[in-house]
Amino acid sequence: MRGKKIGRSFLLILAVLLAVKLPAHPARALPTGLDVLPPDIQKLYDAGRYRQAAEALQAAVERTPTDASLHYWLGRCFFELRDFSRSISSLERAVALDPDRSEYHDWLGKACGRKADENSHSNMASALSLARRTHHEFEIAVQLEATNINAQRDLISFMANAPANLGGGEEHAREQIRALSAVDSVEGELALAELYAVRKKFDQAGEEYEKVLESASNRIDVYLEVADYYRDRGDSEHMDRAVEAGAKIAPSDRRLSYYRGAALVLEKRDPEVAEKDLRTYIETVPDNSDLPAHSSAYEWLGKLFENEEKPDLAAEQYKAGLTLDPQNKALREALKRLQKR
């Protein structure tokens, strides 16, 4: 009996963590803007030098311990360093100092979700508690600022994936989608499409994503989210369409090299161009949770070399990705597949 209970709990955790482990959609700009970092620390953060940025922020916190924004950004740095316990502590301090900031609660929810993922491998009770807290923080973030699209989407993703006893379920998700649609109709369509995809209603999801493609949105993030969906579905034609629609809006967006490279791998054409695009992304764009992960770029490089029947080179890419993201199931499975050859 005890084994069955643990098994059910583990499945609950997995369902919840699908919503919070990694962003399912490109991050949107907050309507009120984020707190401004001191220029020298901002430069470190933007360059992906999170450890140095954290050290500088810790020194700043010692000088000004009641500045909530410093604790918030310190929590963000620890999040990027995958030190989720310290991220939670810093974000908790930011919330305590300024409890009315929506983005503080949203990021605290994200950090709790990632820590829940870690603990699900060793401490199920803690993981469940953190999952409930994740939901709670997302809810507060939305209550404080309904126009915080990031928080709205995080909450809906949680509800779409989580079981009812943890605050999830389709009805809860649909109710929140209606609230989001009143703020931003395109985001509402994207959230509904995501709900359909989670429920494996791919025909309905495709209909919603088609509406988004025809919406003439002026935000590249919208099209890149559509591209993510078709990438994961293996639909290169629609992925290309979404990527190029986004490129018309922001042709110099630094994410485009990742999406174009992945699309070429999916299409199994122009391997040299695909490799160049993906390596350019890894070499020029810092690894950040608001952007496509470097581990994902390495995964697509691995697929490229598999397509070319170069298993040793493919394995190198998968291992590089796993070094960055040790819990990445897709990379682990790809490496196992190669090792069985």
206 and 304 housed in the same domain: no
For 287-306, write each residue's pLDDT tens digit: 999 999 999 999 999 999 99
What stretches in the chain show pLDDT beneath 50? 1-11, 18-20, 22-23, 30-33
Taking CB atoms within 8 Å and a gap of at least 24, the contacts of 196-199 are 197/229, 198/18, 198/160, 198/161, 199/160, 199/170
Smallest CA-to-CA distance from 282 within 311, 303, 309, 262 is with: 262
For 169-224, write each residue's pLDDT tens digit: 999 999 999 999 999 999 999 999 999 999 999 999 999 999 999 988 999 999 99
Smallest CA-to-CA distance from 87 within 57, 46, 126, 62 is with: 57
Question: Which DSSP state fits 218?
Answer: S
Output the CA–CA distances (angstroms, integers) from residue 140 to 3, 74, 134, 135, 258, in the order listed: 35, 21, 10, 9, 34
72 and 127 housed in the same domain: yes
**Residue 16 has what pLDDT?**
54
Cα–Cα–Cα angle for 53, 98, 167, rounded to 5 degrees? 95
**Residue 34 has what pLDDT?**
55
35 and 101 housed in the same domain: yes
Question: Alpha-carbon torsion 163, 111, 220, 181, what sign?
Answer: positive
240 and 278 housed in the same domain: yes
Compute the distance between CA of residue 93 and CA of residue 74 in angstroms, rounded to an integer: 10
Amino acid at 318: Y
Question: Which DSSP state fits 164?
Answer: G
265 and 333 housed in the same domain: no
Smallest CA-to-CA distance from 30 within 150, 143, 139 is with: 150
Transcribe 289-304 into DSSP letters: TTS--HHHHHHHHHHH
Q: Could you say which of 118, 150, 183 is where a domain stops?
A: 183
Q: What is the pTM of this model?
A: 0.89
Question: Alpha-carbon torsion 30, 35, 36, 40, what sign?
Answer: negative
Q: Is residue 265 part of a domain?
A: yes
158 and 14 housed in the same domain: yes
Q: Is residue 192 part of a domain?
A: no
Is residue 114 within 8 A of residue 90, CB to CB? The reply is no
The tokens describing 292, both together, are 């496509």
Give the HSE-up count for residue 236: Cα atoms under 13 Å, Cβ half-sphere. Answer: 10
Note down the domain range covering 328.
293-341
**Residue 22 has what pLDDT?**
44
CA 258 to chain centre: 15
**Residue 15 has what pLDDT?**
53
CATH number of the CATH domain containing 18: 1.25.40.10
